[in-house]
Amino acid sequence: MKDPVCGMEVGDKGEKLSYKGKEYHFCCASCRWAFESNPGQFENES
């Protein structure tokens, strides 16, 4: 899986967030926060 914010490959043990029926995975809380702040900017990049 790829972090939609920074592009880092991540496993399924990191930060997670469900948005519009899809689960997104993040390398850290700051990337998750960036996504939550503006999901439309990132949702199609994963």
Task: Indicate whether 42 pLDDT > 70.
Answer: yes
d(CA 12, CA 27): 10
pLDDT at 31: 96
List own/partner pairs for 41-44 with CB under 8 A and 24 or more apart: 42/4, 42/5, 43/4, 43/19
> What residue numbers bound the domain in which 25 lies?
1-46
Query: What is the number of structural domains in the chain?
Result: 1
Average pLDDT over residues 14-42: 93
Whose tokens are 């990049």? That residue is: 45
User: Of 16, 15, 25, 21, which Cα lies nearest the Cα of 45?
Assistant: 25
Tens of pLDDT, residue by residue over 20-33, are: 999 999 999 999 99
pLDDT bracket for residue 12 (50, 70, 90): confident
3-class DSSP assignment, residue 8: coil
